[in-house]
Amino acid sequence: MTILGIESSCDETAAAVYTKEGLKSNIIASQSVHRRYGGVVPELASRAHHKTIWGTVRQALDTANVSIKEIDAIAVTQGPGLMGALLVGICFAKGMSVARNIPLIGVNHMDAHIYANFIDENPEYPFVSLTVSGGHTQLVLVEGPFNQKVLGRTRDDAAGEAFDKIGKILGLPYPAGPVIDEKSKTGDPEFHRFPQALLNEGFEFSFSGLKTSVLYYLEEKDNRESFLEEHLNDICASVSEAITEVLVKKLRKAVEETGVQSMLLAGGVSANSMLREKAKSLAAELGIKLHIPKMAYCTDNAAMIAVTGYMMAQQGMYSDLNMKPFANFEAGS
């Protein structure tokens, strides 16, 4: 099988080729237009996808040294994501499918984050996956290929969303997550204790209160600008501590209650250095295996779509031309 993967759920236009020999290419065209607005503008994202998708797919094929005639299936992100952005990818995939008579595979974006761990490794089932990104935060028990159960999700802001919104409060550029992570490395995580929500309420998450707590904390300072200038790295470290502590404590609970011997990190926030170190310490303490994808496969990319499509093809999980995008979990379940 030779799979072409296409990703366009948010602000990354991406294409990749995956075969039985492994990943052959992974091309990402990032959209810088959103930085001036402090967040992704859906209409601008759709237009950017429309302009770059064919060039990105062509580059992925050329890099993999594969022709369109050699593609056995097209895997494309079906959701969740921005509806307009998803439509660009799906319409392109459908057009190629009709023109070349190539089967389609609609891929759940969140599943793909989990199975990105299979690009370079072969995690053993069952395992628990902590999937954390800008739009979603969830704990999933995976008992076999696409045999999974969501243990808990965020009730409001996702972890990555909290990083970005708090970064905006701190005056940091978008996306703020990587900036906060870098500044945290030279800050004191115990400088201020920000709230850790829902620690005793199952596997659900909530991060909106943390954003409000940071805002109120800064408003109480007499000279906010000078305080931030002096303690920005400490505040970033304290925010990172609050977010990652909640994530790891919930992950511990999920592992202990399910009895699995493997756990995974997935999604853009799995690139966070503090989260990675805490997850490694937890795995060592519990004596279980930890899988974390390479940095290139943490944020949105087409390699994860292609490898997930490859695994779905092995299970006979194909889609038809009636496939429609879905913007949220409920529509895709």
Residues belonging to the binding site for Fe cation are: 109, 113, 300
6 and 53 in contact (C-beta within 8 Å)? yes
| Residues 120, 154, 89, 302, Cα dihedral to 10° | -10
Phi then psi for residue 99, to 5 deg, are -65, -35
Q: How far apart are CA 9 and CA 12, in angstroms?
A: 7
63 and 78 in contact (C-beta within 8 Å)? no
153 and 268 in contact (C-beta within 8 Å)? no
Q: Position of tokens 């294409």? A: 15
138 and 120 in contact (C-beta within 8 Å)? no
Q: How far apart are CA 126 and CA 326, in angstroms?
A: 28
Q: How many residues does the chain have?
A: 333
Nearest by Cα to 197 from 213, 220, 217, 216: 213
Provide the 10 A C-beta neighbour count for residue 216. Answer: 9
User: Between β-strands 262-266 and 289-291, what pairing exists: parallel, antiparallel or unpaired?
Assistant: parallel
Can you say which residues are annotated as belonging to the binding site for substrate? 131-135, 164, 177, 181, 272
- Amino acid in the structure at residue 25: S
Can you say which residues are annotated as belonging to the binding site? 109, 113, 131-135, 164, 177, 181, 272, 300
Ordered strands of the 12-19 beta sheet: 22-30, 12-19, 2-7, 73-79, 104-108
Q: Where are the beta strands (DSSP E) in 154-268?
A: 262-266
